Amino acid sequence: MTSRIDGPLKVTGQAKYGADNLFPDTLHGYIVLSTVANGEITAMDVTAAKSAPGVVGVYTPFDVLKLDKAVSSVFGETWVPLQTKEVAYYGQPIGVVVAETYEQARDAAMTVEVTYDEKPAVTSFTDGLATAEEPPEIRGGAPNEMSVLADGVESIEDALAASPVVVDNTYFTATQHHTPMEPHSAVARWDAAGLTIYSGNQAAHLQAEELSTALGVDRSQVRCINPFVGGAFGGKARTSAAGFLAAAAARALDRPVKVVMSREQVFTATAGRAATAQRIALGADKDGKLIALRHDSVSSTGMDRSFVEPTSHGTSREWYATKNLHISQKMVPLNIPPVTYMRAPGEAPGSFALESAMDELAIALNMDPIELRLRNNSTAPPGKDLLWSSKHLDECYQIGAMRFGWANRSPHGHEDGDWLVGMGTATAMFPGLRFPATVRATFKADDTAEVGTGGADPGTGLLTVLALVGAESLDIAPDRVTPVLGDSALPPGGLSGGSTATASAGSATMVAAVELIDQLVKLATSAGAPFEGLEVTYEGGRVLADGRSMTFGELLRATGRTELTATGSSAPGEELTKHSFSSFGAQFVEVKVHKLTREARVTRMLGVFDAGRIINEKTARSQLSGGMIWGVSAALHEGIEIEPSGRFANADLAGYLVPVNADIPDIGVHFVQYPDTLHSDLGAKGVGEIGVVGVAAAVANAIHNATGIRVRHIPIRIEDLLDS
Ligand code: MOS
């Protein structure tokens, strides 16, 4: 158990986040946002702003900082600000004012007068459900609609009609936002070598790709630096408006420019999570075996239609063994800010619907909800031949039930003084993915080593994991390994997204270490070297032969070198044709609902996870408990209120509720550890996202157990729990 090695730097304020990079002469940019949700800007009067104290530049669609299409190898095209007069949502970046100080820029920005040719805004998700559209593309290129039907079954309707027990309901999840602690920001500086930009993100090399294409400069002239990132969760996967505007303004003005979004701006000037409506129909036999599973999902999206929250595809396609499966995915484009990846995209809202429905089915069958899930345990995703590489979900449930005291649960909860007490459970899954990654490993003459890659640690613990995997692979103590992340000058290290970073960078680290040791051995035995012509072995950081040994540092010094470097790459490959990969988990929640006030409080939580090998239990536990807190937050707190005008009514942390310490009890996290070496040599699958999956359903199921009230939407509020 290793503590986060960047922890002391962070808690003592020494860690330099993007906006902490101050250079002499730095200018400050303040973004101007639209105040209508649909229409065209017909004029922007910037006269007052331009003559305001300290102002050196005002840029708008009329006086534009030219940016081309921004494209990255992973995310395709990304929106760039100010290139159009069209407004598609309230709070869209439409200008930037640059001044000597932040206050001057902000004050001047307030004086910009915008005239719009305003059109009616389409902002109601529920009104749009009836006319939902086919999405252009779903994650992984999956079809919008797909069926797997047993032999002789004509349609999913027939399969449902033939099922002795059916539950069929629609569930709703709210629009959410990542609200990372560090607002989106950037400090950009140009010199003869090109652009250097300091901006928190999830992958330095992808930002470099996006910025170089947008700015029309060679990729080698853009360097993105982000050693510390104050939370991302999918919301910093792409370059933000702050990044594009800081870079372009710094070039135009030939001075460093810093742009920091205010907390309120982050809500609309960056993308959030879609609202969803999901109809789930489950048909089962009397023993609880699923006969049919139908999941029709609709997600909100921005007018750019750039992302669809893949709820059906993320959940029902893979979770339970069923003979007949039908999923579909549609979207409702609205005049709202764009939506994007947010921690467990698809699975987080999808699992609320599916796992609530499974609870409803258990009740209809008069069966324990764990028993129902065990009876439908899948050995492969329905309709696929590829078996799970490793799956121990049943053990997660068994251990979890024992540790949580599930046997004490009564079908109708129990009372504790003025409180109604209930327990709920839900399955968690998140696909086991990884990306191509390259890692650079270096032996140094002072007997330390460095392991570096361009990936990011947005609070996940990747930096610590990199040191541990590096130490293990180089067979030296972790405190002799310096991990380095967050610099596009390093080899591209995958991205911190999709719960992939450990498996991606870790696998590449193993390859790099083998290569580095190989080179060290060659150096040791080369002509004139201390072990010339001998058969040497490497162990514990030493080269050995003939009863003699030298550390790698000694060897480097003896051969007149300061360091020795190797790179290693690893990418998913053949294994994808042989198995299906996923992390699994069982979530347990106890709630108390006050009899009179109807306040719901989560009082106990336990998650038991099967995520392959756990490299560092301390940081993994922190990832999972963080995810579980997100789940409580989704269940009871979070939701953007969109006014008919398209304005977000609660775009701040006073009105957009996230849990505080008092909302969250002690959280139990337990691992069943089965290293999945079919997935990668490292044996680790992801832990970044699965923690949130299923929790909102477990909370809703516990509330039902306590009160008898089934709430089919989140967040669940007091008014939903008034005695019926
Ligand atoms: Mo994420 S939603 O894993 O960037």
**216 has a pLDDT exceeding 80:** yes
The answer to whether 329 and 123 are in contact (CB under 8 A) is no
| pLDDT computed for residue 468 by the predictor | 98
The answer to whether the CB of 341 is under 6 A from ligand 1 is: yes
Which of the four pLDDT bands, split at 50, 70 and 90, describes residue 724?
low
Higher pLDDT, 224 or 313: 224
Look up the pTM and report it: 0.97
The distance of Cα 562 from the centroid of its chain, to the nearest Å, equals 39
Q: Does ligand 1 lie within 6 Å of residue 307's CB atom?
A: no
Compute how many other C-beta atoms are within 10 angstroms of the C-beta atom of residue 359.
25
Catalytic residues: 689
What's the order of all strands across the beta sheet hosting 437-444? 481-484, 449-452, 437-444, 563-570
The two three-digit tokens of residue 312, written as one number: 């059906």
Report which secondary-structure segment, H or E, holds 398: helix 393-404
Going by pLDDT thresholds of 50, 70 and 90, the confidence category of residue 599 is very high
pLDDT at 366: 98
Whether 223 shows a pLDDT value over 80: the answer reads yes
pLDDT for position 315: 79
- Rounded distance between C-alpha atoms, residue 439 and residue 381, angstroms: 33
Ligand 1 mean position to 711 CA, how many Å? 28
Q: What is the mean pLDDT of residues 374-387?
A: 90
Angle CA(157)–CA(163)–CA(167) in degrees, nearest 5?
80
532 exposure class (CB count in 10 Å sphere: 0-12, 13-18, 19+): exposed
pLDDT at position 494: 86
Q: Which amino acid is at 27?
A: L
Domains along the chain? 17-120+181-269 (3.90.1170.50), 346-433+576-724 (3.30.365.10), 437-571 (3.30.365.10)
For residue 183, report the distance from its CA to the centre of ligand 1, in Å: 17
Which residue type, as a one-letter code, is found at position 706? A
Work out the pLDDT band at 338, boundaries 50, 70, 90: very high
The string of pLDDT tens digits covering residues 501-555 is 999 999 999 999 999 999 999 999 999 999 999 999 999 999 999 999 999 999 9
* Tokens linked to 458: 């947005």
Contacts of 47 (CB under 8 A, 6+ apart): none
Q: What tens digit of pLDDT does each residue of 169-209 get? A: 999 999 999 999 999 999 999 999 999 999 999 999 999 99
CA–CA distance, 599 with 567 (Å, rounded to integer): 56
Cα distances (angstroms) measured from residue 291 to each of 153, 286, 326: 11, 10, 12
Q: Which tokens in the block code for residue 239?
A: 């370059």
Q: Whose CA is nearest to atom 4 of ligand 1?
A: 234
Cis peptide upstream of residue 715 (ω within 30 degrees of 0): yes
Calpha distance 662→479 (Å, rounded): 36
Site to probe by mutation for ligand 1, drawn from 78, 201, 240, 343 as the one with most ligand atoms within 8 Å of Cβ, is 343
Residue 237 CB–ligand 1 contact under 6 Å: yes
DSSP 8-state secondary structure symbol assigned to residue 642: B
> How much distance in Å is there from the Cα of 235 to the middle of ligand 1?
8
Determine the Cα–Cα distance for residues 456 and 504; give it in Å rounded to an integer.
12
Residue 73 corresponds to which tokens in the numbers above? 């190898």
Strands (E), 286-323: 290-302
Strands (E) across 524-570 are located at 537-539, 542-545, 548-551, 563-570
To which residue do tokens 């929106």 refer?
A: 79
Least reliable range by pLDDT among 51-60, 382-391, 560-569, 701-710: 382-391
Q: Quick check: helix, strand or coil at residue 4? A: coil
| Cβ(480) – ligand 1 distance below 6 Å | no
435 close to ligand 1 (CB < 6 Angstrom): no
**Average pLDDT for the chain:** 96
Encoding tokens for residue 654?
Answer: 């006073």
Q: Are 265 and 273 spatial neighbours (Cβ–Cβ below 8 Å)?
A: no
- 704's CB contacts (< 8 A; 6+ apart) are 359, 363, 422, 424, 710, 711
Tell how far CA 667 is from the center of its chain.
21
As given in the structure block, the two tokens for residue 70 are 């921004």
Phi, psi of 11 (to 5 degrees): -75, -15
The per-residue pLDDT for range 69-95, each reduced to its tens digit, is: 999 999 999 999 999 999 999 999 999
Which residues contact residue 271 at a Cβ distance below 8 angstroms, ignoring those fewer than 6 apart? 235, 238, 302, 307, 337, 338, 339, 340
Mean pLDDT, range 581-591, rounded to an integer: 98
Q: How many CA atoms does the CB half-sphere of 636 hold within 13 Å?
A: 29
Q: What is the DSSP string of 232-276?
A: -TTTTSS--HHHHHHHHHHHHHTS-EEEE--HHHHHHHS-BB--E
Alpha-carbon span 235 to 306, nearest angstrom: 14
Q: Considering only CA atoms, which of 436, 441, 409, 437 is closest in space to residue 423?
A: 409
pLDDT of residue 256: 98
The pLDDT score that the predictor gives to residue 139 is 65
Confidence of residue 369 (pLDDT cuts 50, 70, 90): very high
Q: What is the best residue among 239, 341, 623 to mutate for testing ligand 1's pocket, by most ligand atoms within 8 Å of CB? A: 341
| Cα 702 from Cα 704, distance rounded (Å) | 5
Please name the helix (run of DSSP H) or strand (run of DSSP E) that holds residue 207, with its range, or none.
Answer: helix 204-215
Distance from residue 236's CA to the centre of ligand 1 (Å) = 9
| Nearest ligand 1 atom, CA 235 | 4
b vs e for 491-527, b when ≥16 Cβ sit within 10 Å of the residue's Cβ?
bbbbbbbbbbbbbbbbbbbbbbbebbbeebbebbbee
Strands 165-173, 713-714: pairing kind:
parallel
pLDDT tens-place string over residues 630-674: 999 999 999 999 999 999 999 999 999 999 999 999 999 999 999
Q: Compute, in angstroms, the gap from residue 715 CA to the centroid of ligand 1.
A: 21
Q: Is the CB of 267 under 6 A from ligand 1?
A: no
Give the number of the atom of ligand 1 that is nearest the alpha carbon of residue 234: 4
Burial of 55 (0-12, 13-18, 19+ CB in 10 A): buried
Which pairing describes strands 542-545 and 548-551: parallel, antiparallel, or unpaired?
A: antiparallel
pLDDT in tens, 455-510: 999 999 999 999 999 999 999 999 999 999 999 999 998 899 999 999 999 999 99
Residue ranges with strand state E in 285-435: 290-302, 324-334, 414-416, 419-431
- Supply 579's token pair: 């198995």
Q: Please work out whether the CB of residue 18 comes within 6 Å of at least one atom of ligand 1.
A: no
Write down the pLDDT at residue 382: 80
Alpha-carbon span 452 to 450, nearest angstrom: 6
Closest CA to 495 of 244, 239, 176: 239
Q: Which of 92, 137, 131, 96 is nearest to 338 (CA)?
A: 92
